Structure 1
């Protein structure tokens, strides 16, 4: 009887430790799902995201290295916050990729005149210009089509090899995140530059016409011309723009790998 009681106590202790480890894994996974637009963000209902979080945690839990959970409540809370910080850092990398696309769309909206109108974005809970929101949705579709979400999931699983539970080093990953922020501005400008050049040429042509024909009100006639040129140019150049946006998965994967290396021991 004594042996049976000891076995029951050991099983209960093992089950408790495994539950604590799974909760730590759930903390990292849930932070990634919340921060990364790759999993839909506000476009996906909250119950679906919660189910996705649990499923991802079950997938990556077997690769989580064994570790004894902290004995104290404060120590466990600190370990859980560290796991959340790792998930947020991984999600921030993917969010910066989408921010670069949104920045390109907002620059185009300012030149075409679409900046005065906007649509509600459930991800950021704010109003966004039309082209910025369109490119954001296009980037999401391209990310899923090129299996970019698999890159994010692999980075989550690989994070346990570089950053085991309790071994977070966010200070080491800060330069990578700062570099990605600069990359975001440069990429957003590069994506919008061809169409911006066409629209600037149209504005210069309208300015010359207004000097040649002062009776022509450029402010009234010029805006429809700019919108028409912008839409036609965007339609013609959409395959090339889509290809350039799909290629953003590669620098995202590289940034995730560099972030994990920097945060590792």
Structure 2
């Protein structure tokens, strides 16, 4: 699989690196490279009784760990449409190995995806049916392609997915975190955890996780009043 295809599939959020190797840092992002790939309750192919689902080519997920069975790598992933985790044979998985792997910024990116769902299906596992769902196709000129935007609205947040991958979350209430940060936390906690902001605009103080990914926090009375995660579209 080439880099261009991987970036398109993950809506420019991830970078392709081939092969399953040891020494990964988890959690991280992964993508399926096969069709009708079995998900199992345990890393074992000796029986079909423990099949819990299936993945298809370019399906995205969060990997939480790995193990070796008879010399072969298996990945433990967040189940795409059920609670809990499942195991997938490493032959059918590409994992993220970008330059920012292991950095606080990348860890925050993954934590937000885990908290709110990397995909719409995973969001439904976490939060149930949304109050409102909106789908729209749009033409993305830089990539010369049609793309699909899905917006899920819940009582405490709004999540936007492009081509099946999380691109924006706006949180205005509740206790769901951005990493360690929650609504109502003191402004000083932001600076202790994230350092000085990169700047401030009408959306609030912002921190750049990478050139296309940002966190925004609005502060009122010295406390966090709203939070936004935004991964901007790229060609």
Q: TM-score, normalised by structure 1?
A: 0.22
Of Structure 1 and Structure 2, the greater strand share is in 2
Q: TM-score, normalised by structure 2?
A: 0.24
Larger Rg: 1
Q: Which has the higher contact order (CA 8 A, sep 6+)?
A: 1
